[in-house]
Every structure is written in C-alpha cells, then in structure tokens.
Structure 1
C-alpha cells in the first residue's frame, strides 16, 4: 500500500506516490484512465496531479484542459473529491498549440506566464473543468522571469484568501529564485510554497547541462535546510530510459543526463534489477521511495494500466542498506 509523508510543515500528509494525470483524456482514453484512477485509489493513493495545459501536444485539436475535464468526470461519477488531494498548475498554457506541433513556434515562447490576471483566469478555468470549488495545491508551472515575483505572489495570496486553493507550489524553478520567492513571502506575509515539483531521478544531470528544472546537489542541500518545502519528483523513470537503450537514444529527456556518470548508474541499477528479478525502473522508483534526507513524493505519469501496475509493483521492492550504498556509490 502507498504510505504518506508530511507536506512541508502544513500538518497534513500526502501520498508518497502521486499519480500524474497528464495523458488522461488524450493519449489515455477515458475507460483506461478511470481504471488507472481506481487502481491507484485501491492501492491507497490519494495525490492526483494535473495542469491546465495537459495535454495540448498529443493530438491535433487538443488545446489543454483535457486531463482536468476527465478528472472532473471521474470525481463526479465516484463522489471522491473529498477523498483525494488535488493539485493542478497554471502558467504553461500555450496560445497556439497547432503552431507548436507544426514547428512554427516554440512552446516556451507561448507560455501564458504567471501574471496576476493570467493566474486568476487560469485557476477559474481549472476549477470549472474539474468541477470543484477549490484545489488543494496550485503550482506556478514554469518560472516566469518576465513577471515581477511580487505580482505573482500577491495574486497567489489572493487565490488562497478566496478559498480557491489551500496551498501553493512552484515547478521548474532554480534554487536562487526559490529563495527569492521565500524571502518575499516572509516580508509581505504571503503564503509561501509548500511543494517544489522538479524533474528528479536516480540518474544525475550532466554537469554541462543547463536544464535548471532538474534537481541537483545544491537544491537537495537547500531542501534539507528548509523542511517547510516538500519535493515532488516528476519523470522519475525518465520516460523508460532505464530499461530501453532506444529510448535513451531517441527521447529528449535523456539528453541532460547522457555521459559517463549516467552510464555507471544505469549499470548499477541494471545489475541490482537482475539480482532482484525486477526492472531497472522499479529499482529507481524504490531508491527514490527510500530517500529520507529529504523525504520526497515520487510522481508517476502512466500512459497505460500496465505502466501503472509496473510502477505500483515497485512498492514491494525493498532495498537493503548495502544495496542503497552500492547505488549511491556508482558514478563517474
């Protein structure tokens, strides 16, 4: 069964394995999505993660919001709104998905951003699609350097005061910006983020990669010093890269990791997986689950029921101290 960990210093606990619903309603059809949600719920999971932009890139005609709308239908059918911890995000909606899919524009150039009016409008849209009066956690999806942080934080404080979200979080943000955010919240008495959603896995980012959305050693040290922030680790299996060399060659997500250090860590995970009779992805998930300095939520986003079952099976993989030490020692 899925256990829980503290959410910052809020006094509440959340599922240590969160269910990413990014592809539900697009790549994953409604019937299979509902089955994944039911299976996750039966396993004791209660932390659902989505965003207003999910998932405009999957099919022609998709514009974002499909995942939220599907979750709204599931909660209406099951009556489980009060039984889940519901998180969504705003700021990464794109104005012209067709242009991005066709290669005529870059997604980052079209992000809606974190302006006050934008976030207020975005959350209202999310609540409407979800069919709820509030969410439990609302993230700024992508760090927006064009908008003053004071404007964003004041708007988020207003959303909390209005009862539209209980907590706020940030995603895809470097540590220096996170500290600036926290300082401004303390100065003005605004609600501070309680969750940090970043890309994080057993593999480590290549030193020459400038992808700041990946957790690095500095950010882990920061989180150890600030236990009011809970790390939510997305892409923990790196899109299948642990188990499939072709995915390592073909998928963009692996480019930030490729190198001798990752080769050594992949070999260590693969060796241990063979000894345990599991997959290397399951070893990576087990490694994440057993980290306690700091504790972290592992966010999995399965496309199929089989992928969910494989991820859930990692809950039964217990790594001994010697195994953890062997994994941690691997690297260039």
Structure 2
C-alpha cells in the first residue's frame, strides 16, 4: 500500500486508496461487508469513507446502516486507532421538511451540523471523526453559518479536518477564503465525482447536479492550493470500464468517450493491467494525487482495485492517456 498525508501534509496519513462503504450493512450484507473491510485492512488500507445517510434509499434504509456497521467492525477488530474515519452531514432526511428524499435533505445549518456529528459519533462508537464533510451544497443557509459551525467542531476536538462534497468550485473557494480571513479551520478535502472519462459540459448527476463532477475549474483551483486533497468517487463508473453488462453512464455519452476508452484499453494491454486498475493508477499517480474512494461490493472487486497501487504509469503512458 502507498500512503500520503491529507491536506498537503497537514492532515492524517492515509492509504492511497479509500474504501467507500455506502452500501455496507444494507444492500451489501454484513458478512460480505466485514470481509471486505478485513481484506482492506490486511492490505494496509487505513482510510474508510461513510456518511450519515447511507443508505436511506435501500429498502427499509434509515441512513444509520453504514456508520453503524463501521462502528461494529472497528470495535470487534480493535481497529479504531488504525482507521482514518471520514463521514458526512447534510443529506440525511429531515422529517420536518417533508416525507420525500432528497427534497427533505437536512441541509447545513449550524444546529444540523452539531446534531449530525453527535449522531455520527454515537453510531460509529468513537469520540472523534478524522475528516468531516459538508455533504452537499446548501444555498438556503448562509455560508458563514456553515463555515462557523464546522470550524467550531475542529476547535473543540470533535473533528480532525474538514471537507466538502458536491459543491461548486466557486463555493469551495469562497468558504475557504472566508475561513482563512478569520483564522478558522477551512475545507481541506473535496470529495467529488471524478474519473478518466469526461462528462458532457453541463451534464448533471441526479441529486448532485453538474456540481457533482470535478470539472477543470475545481481541478485548477485545487492544483493551486497546497493544503487541499481531491478525493474521487464514482471513478470506476459502476463497473462499466470492464463489464460487458454495464453501460457507461449517459452523462459520458459523447464522441470523446469512445476515443478515451480506446486509448484506455490500449494502455491496459500494454501494462497487462485491467482498465479499472489503469484508471485508479492514473488518479493516484497524478502530479497532485487524487485518492479514489472505492465503490466495491465484494472481496474480488477489492482485490482488483488493490492491484492498482503497484501499477506505475510512466510519463509516456500518462501523456497518451491525457492527450486522448
């Protein structure tokens, strides 16, 4: 396993791959979920990502399932001290806002942020979250209120470092500047949908909308900020790079996609790797590395992803991929 420090060295050391456990404890059963976590830890994986609403869309889901499963795993294996835990607040259902999700998202008001961390700590069985994300942009709450609430959690020691997910690049920059001007803890990690394929301009991704993808504006901004880390979710596009039964998402349906897929397959043949492994290696080996948040549902899928850690793409192969 490779390791790096979040937030340009200011955050905790984490594995170069992050295990996303969105479906664990719901659509991925407990036995399989625990087996994947065990294998990830055995391989040197230390970074696990969840949220306080995973997975409310599953049959009977409440949003507690993923955090609770991670808490049970850490307690039963004695892994809390060796696990860097990331979770999120903002997209859990709020019954006071109606019965339909996502219209009833809880949002990012100060009281919600406070209640969110208290609930997450209880479900995870810990007194501290290493990385806490604002899950999705909330235009109904003043940015100043949200930034102040998150910074307060860092000041009291309940949270290590801060991040945001599914935010427009300008909103990330504005929140960081506001915090910096006042000496407050600021977002140091951004978790956004990002992969080798590029979506059509303006393409939306369901509830995340166009802001759910890391576009060139966000990538350029992060590239200029030494204290920022990009975490990439959706990097394997639900298996579509390698599985014949999976179609590429319609958001990537444009002429440039076939060209990039062709080059990706050529590089995979040249390296003897799978297309998935090449995509992951392309992310973690970038000039400013991105950390893939793996969406796997079996030990076999995890094993394939782990093979990307030792895959080195030389300058020629990387240039070939980037130019496609």
Global fold match (TM > 0.5):
yes
RMSD: 1.8
**For residue 242 of structure 2, what is the aligned residue in structure 1?**
243
TM-score under structure 1 length normalisation: 0.90
Show structure 2 runs of 5+ residues with no match.
205-209
Task: Indicate conservation of the 8 Å contact 1:3/1:15, yes or no.
Answer: yes
Name the SS of the counterpart of 2:103 in structure 1.
helix
Name the SS of the counterpart of 1:233 in structure 2.
strand
TM-score under structure 2 length normalisation: 0.93
**For residue 282 of structure 1, what is the aligned residue in structure 2?**
277
1:115 aligned onto 2:114:
no
1:264 aligned onto 2:263:
no
1:152-208 Cα distance to aligned partner (Å, 9 max, x none): 111112212222111111111111101110121022222101111111111112124
Shift of 1:35: 1.4
Task: Indicate conservation of the 8 Å contact 1:8/1:195, yes or no.
Answer: no
Shift of 1:58: 2.0
**2-structure distance, mates of 1:65, 1:202:** 32
**For residue 309 of structure 2, what is the aligned residue in structure 1?**
315
Alignment of 1:24-63 (within 5 A): 24-59=24-59, 61-63=60-62
The number of residue pairs the alignment matches comes to 317
Name the SS of the counterpart of 2:306 in structure 1.
helix
**2-structure distance, mates of 1:135, 1:208:** 34
**2-structure distance, mates of 1:54, 1:6:** 24
**1-structure distance, mates of 2:245, 2:55:** 24
Alignment of 1:152-301 (within 5 A): 152-210=146-204, 211-244=210-243, 246-248=245-247, 254-292=249-287, 294-301=288-295
1:230-266 Cα distance to aligned partner (Å, 9 max, x none): 11111111111212354225xxxx2222211111111
Task: Indicate conservation of the 8 Å contact 1:140/1:170, yes or no.
Answer: yes
**For residue 75 of structure 1, what is the aligned residue in structure 2?**
74
Shift of 1:54: 0.6
**2-structure distance, mates of 1:163, 1:297:** 25
**2-structure distance, mates of 1:219, 1:197:** 11
Show structure 1 runs of 5+ residues with no match.
none
